[in-house]
């Protein structure tokens, strides 16, 4: 790809946000990443109010909302950017992983726009969008260690380049965001659970209840995570406390959050110690995904990275949760790297797309 600006429209519909964005990539040899990224427009429609009464995302309702709003979101993104569809150098859309109904809607729209405009099309792995966001927002150079923590994902991987990702550790059961949501529902709190748990935890005593820290200290488990036992322990404590009061809820929330933080810190410490820093400037941990907005977890991770001589980078909250800008940026990075575009007619939608699949390099 020539050293010229690249402008990409990105669509994200993998879960309960309907999003469209336009980003611009400009080669810049004076920056650590060699690139400058600019978000020209970024529009996101949250469906929290739709799903809150059910305590979680209802796939059919999410898909219907994407159908109702995606065309308007694309038009709004183009209008805010002052662009036309024909100005795009590429179209990118999430091709998975995610709720298959939603993925199909965004992917089909992206293919149609690419065919209509003649622009190349990239079906983006949602995880790759998160993996590369720090390069858009913070000029991060390869390589770095990525902790991806969201409602559906919890994994550590080494990022060496576009399409070059080595899985270091993953959850054996629940993702972190899923664990927060289930804990909040168990305690009678609202949805999404992460912010509810964090708010109650600020008023709670994290040391009142002895909750487990699954896999901590078990080096033979590598950098894997497990949260199902912690969730079960929380349920047992809540049952023992019935009728449960507000103080009990706050203390349980604080203990649960502290246990999650200890697990993340322990696994990241192992991954950092094993990280080959020879090719990087002191080492960097990037945290992405919606759970990265939790300030308690960020402080705990900041402490472990500082102690190891690493730097911690967390994109702004709006770009940690699902958004179109991260998908557009991943498409721009792939185009700039010379990756062959996907067939706009053949690119498949995938409910599951693990790090070991063709967009990633597995250890």
Q: Do residues 128 and 148 share a domain?
A: no
Q: Do residues 166 and 194 share a domain?
A: yes
The DSSP code for 344 is T
Q: Which domain, by its residues, includes 14?
A: 6-137+322-336
DSSP character string of 192-236: SHHHHHHHHHTTS-TTSS----TTTT-GGGTT-B--HHHHHHHHH
Burial string for 118-130 (b: 16+ CB within 10 Å, else e) reads ebbbbbbbbbbbb
Name the residue among 347, 359, 307 with its Cα closest to residue 132: 359
Can you list the alpha helix ranges (DSSP code H) found in the chain?
48-51, 59-81, 100-117, 126-138, 176-186, 193-201, 228-240, 246-274, 295-307, 317-320, 324-336
pLDDT for the residue 2 = 46
pLDDT for the residue 144 = 95
Q: Do residues 111 and 232 share a domain?
A: no
Q: Model-level pTM?
A: 0.93
In a domain, 352, yes or no: no
In a domain, 162, yes or no: yes
Q: Do residues 129 and 189 share a domain?
A: no
Q: Based on the structure, what is the number of domains in the chain?
A: 2
Helix (H, G, I), strand (E, B) or coil at 38: strand
Please provide residue 124's backbone torsions phi and psi, each rounded to the nearest 5 degrees: -100, 135
Name the residue among 198, 146, 82 with its Cα closest to residue 320: 146
Run means of pLDDT, 10 residues per run, the chain, 363 residues: 82 95 96 95 91 86 94 98 97 96 97 96 95 96 95 91 93 93 94 94 96 86 89 96 96 98 95 75 88 94 94 94 97 96 86 68 42
Per residue in 228-277, pLDDT (tens digit) is 999 999 999 999 999 999 999 999 999 999 999 999 999 999 999 988 76
pLDDT for the residue 362 = 39
DSSP character string of 85-139: GGG-SEEEEEEESS-HHHHHHHHHHHHHHHHHHT--EEEEEHHHHHHHHHHHHH-
The CATH number of whichever domain residue 35 belongs to comes to 3.30.420.40
């Amino acid at each position: 790809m020539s050293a010229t600006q690249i402008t990409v429209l990105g669509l994200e519909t993998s879960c309960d946000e309907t999003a469209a964005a336009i980003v611009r990539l400009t080669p810049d040899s004076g920056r650590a990443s060699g690139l400058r990224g600019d978000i020209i427009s970024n529009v996101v429609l949250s469906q929290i109010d739709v799903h809150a009464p059910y305590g979680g995302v209802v796939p059919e309702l999410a898909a219907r909302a994407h159908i109702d709003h995606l065309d308007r979101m694309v038009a709004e993104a183009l209008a805010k950017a002052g662009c036309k569809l024909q100005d795009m150098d590429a179209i990118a859309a999430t091709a998975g992983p995610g709720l298959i109904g939603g993925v199909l809607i965004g992917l089909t729209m992206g293919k149609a726009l690419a065919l209509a405009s003649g622009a190349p099309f990239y079906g983006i792995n949602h995880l790759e969008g998160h993996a590369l966001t720090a390069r858009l927002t913070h000029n991060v150079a390869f390589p770095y260690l990525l902790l991806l923590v969201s409602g559906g994902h919890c994994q550590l991987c080494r990022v060496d380049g576009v399409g070059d990702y080595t899985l270091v550790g993953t959850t054996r059961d629940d993702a972190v965001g899923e664990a927060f949501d289930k804990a909040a529902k168990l305690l009678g709190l609202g949805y999404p659970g992460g912010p509810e748990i964090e708010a109650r935890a600020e008023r709670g005593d994290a040391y009142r209840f002895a909750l487990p820290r699954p896999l901590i200290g078990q080096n033979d488990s590598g950098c894997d995570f497990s949260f199902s036992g912690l969730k079960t322990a929380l349920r047992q404590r809540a049952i023992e406390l019935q009728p449960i009061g507000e103080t009990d809820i706050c203390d349980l929330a604080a203990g649960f959050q502290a246990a999650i933080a200890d697990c993340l810190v322990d696994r990241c410490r192992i991954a950092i110690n094993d990280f080959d820093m020879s090719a990087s400037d002191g080492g960097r941990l990037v945290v992405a995904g919606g759970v990265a907005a939790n300030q308690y977890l960020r402080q705990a991770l900041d402490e472990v990275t500082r102690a190891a001589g690493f730097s911690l980078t967390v994109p702004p909250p709006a770009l940690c949760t699902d958004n179109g800008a991260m998908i557009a940026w991943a498409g721009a990075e792939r185009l700039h790297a010379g990756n062959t575009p996907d067939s706009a007619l053949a690119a498949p939608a995938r409910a599951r797309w693990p790090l070991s699949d063709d967009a990633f390099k597995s250890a």
